[in-house]
Amino acid sequence: MIGTHQGWAQFALLLIDVQQDFWTVEMAKSFPHFPHNITKLLELCRSVGIEVVHLRASFKPDMSDWMLKYKLRGRIPCLEGTPGTETLPFALEEPGELVIVKQAFDGFQNPALLDHLRQKGKRFVFTAGLVTSTCMLFTTVSAAQSGFLTVVVEDCCADEPSAHQQTLDRYRFIFDRTTLDAIPKHHTEWLADLEKLDKLQSKS
């Protein structure tokens, strides 16, 4: 039994940068199951009541919101109005799902993300999307440092293969890992972790 909507009320999925500019031909060859896995992950979250928050990069052509390194380079991905900023068709939001636009690797640089998660009472965050070693990593680390239990859905993110694996292996002291199929199996364990935190906080 995967659990009721109430049982997942404190959980959210951050779906990060599933956009044309980040989904290269090479990446598609290395991670052929990524589109299917994202589709199934969204179906799972929506069916049990895990809130889905979409994070997407978008930058103005006049460079006014570019990070400084990219201003020096004179180019940046996901330029507003170009095909590269478009969301891949298997990762589109449904009505009522929040979309937050960002101009940094870390989605929490837009304060609207943290404000929303706290207002909704979220305490446990899944992350998935593109690219594992950059925006996925920075956003996941920031979630952990902002007070959320954080788990990367490792078969629902992609990168250059060695960078993908090294990132997942290197930062296990910051976040936990799961797979799409394993999410229902760990529900009781994750709820127990939240309950344990409640008890610890009540003693402090």
Pick left, alpha or beta for residue 48 (phi over 0 → left; psi -120 to 50 → alpha; otherwise beta): alpha
Tell me what pLDDT residue 166 has.
Answer: 98
Strands across the sheet containing 98-102? 98-102, 51-57, 11-16, 124-130, 149-158, 176-178
**pLDDT higher than 90, residue 149:** yes
150-188, pLDDT tens digit by residue? 999 999 999 999 999 999 999 999 999 999 999 999 999
* CA distances, 97 to each of 42, 89, 125 (Å): 11, 15, 16
- Nearest-angstrom CA–CA distance, 204 and 106: 31
Kindly indicate whether the domain formed by 9-203 is annotated with CATH number 3.40.50.850. yes
Q: SS3 of 151, please?
A: strand
Tell me what pLDDT residue 4 has.
Answer: 56
Tell me what pLDDT residue 77 has.
Answer: 97
> In this structure, are residues 154 and 188 in contact, taking their beta carbons and an 8 Å threshold?
no
122-135, pLDDT tens digit by residue? 999 999 999 999 99
Task: Delimit the domains of the chain by residue range.
Answer: 9-203
**pLDDT higher than 60, residue 1:** no
> In this structure, are residues 137 and 157 in contact, taking their beta carbons and an 8 Å threshold?
no
Confidence category of residue 80, pLDDT binned at 50, 70, 90: very high
DSSP labels for 165-176?
Answer: HHHHHHTTTT-E
Tell me what pLDDT residue 202 has.
Answer: 83
- Nearest-angstrom CA–CA distance, 191 and 204: 20
Phi then psi for residue 137, to 5 deg, are -65, -50
87-106, pLDDT tens digit by residue? 999 999 999 999 999 999 99
As a 3-state breakdown, the chain gives helix, strand, coil percent values, each rounded to 5, of 45, 20, 35
- Nearest-angstrom CA–CA distance, 201 and 184: 27
2-19, pLDDT tens digit by residue? 555 669 999 999 999 999
